[in-house]
Structure 1
């Protein structure tokens, strides 16, 4: 069952791609005491993720922060080196934390896995966006497979 409004963000270890290299992150600590906009994508460097999803949060980063968002994070079931390369390719500096969930542990704990094994892509993350305040989900939007309508930076901004 997918995580929903009122649920707590699961506490697991993920890896953040940083300029200094991979950094282990405890999700409980990452979300504690602040408002975080987290969005998940099926994969780094994929067409919709690169052309629309990630850029929508970069374009709306300042407006989201004006509305009380302390941090923006992008998550994919990729390794931290891929997430770091994608950040570099997209010109991401520190406006969006790039979170690697390489084994889909966080994705599965949130009930947001999407099995694309038949297509040779393995288990991926569904496209979604959520807002959590002090580790509690206050807004979540999960896309239908293949869609990009409710999880953009603009949609999250409108929900705040």
Structure 2
């Protein structure tokens, strides 16, 4: 079942690179904070690299100015996420999270089967806004689309 506004973020661990591979659990990531988490089907893929991540990089200060932390997640390993972040000039503070086995995407009910593209199980493209570990807004894209999970759309929805 897909997570909905009002639901608590499930407890899962993710990985990121910060002086080596680090593990972070979703409680640490979300509890006591305002967080926008956006997910992409894959690092270095066209829409993800040309539009989705760049929008959040461009508007990062707008989110931070509202006291909102920003995190990007994909079903990729932490080394790929780190390299992608460097390639995209991600600012300090925008976390590049690895959901390497798709555990978090599955726990959210937002996994997708991309085996037809040779990519296995991935995350759907989405953005969510959570306060203190509770989902307040959820923007899930239809297959092949990029509209409602953009930084601009999420900012407008927070207004």
TM-score range, shorter chain: over 0.9
**Normalised TM-score (structure 1):** 0.96
Distance 1:80 1:64 in 2: 24
Aligned residues: 158
Which residue pairs with 1:24 in the alignment? 23
Question: Which residue number in structure 2 is paired with residue 51 of structure 1?
Answer: 50
Contact 1:61/1:95 (8 A) holds in 2: no
Preserved CA contact (<8 Å) 1:127 1:151: yes
Kindly report which structure 2 residues correspond to 1:1-160, keeping only aligned pairs within 5 A, or say none.
Answer: 1-18=1-18, 20-69=19-68, 71-160=69-158
Instruction: Give the alignment's Cα RMSD to 1 decimal.
Output: 0.9
Which consecutive unaligned segments of at least 5 residues does structure 2 have? none
Q: CA deviation at 1:141?
A: 0.3
Distance 2:93 2:23 in 1: 19
TM-score scaled by structure 2? 0.96
Distance, in Å, in 2 between the alignment partners of 1:25 and 1:62 is 23
Q: Is the 8 A contact 2:13 2:23 kept in 1?
A: yes
CA distance change for structure 1 residues 95 and 58 in 2, over 3 Å: closer, same or farther?
Answer: farther
- Cα drift, residue 119 of structure 1: 2.1
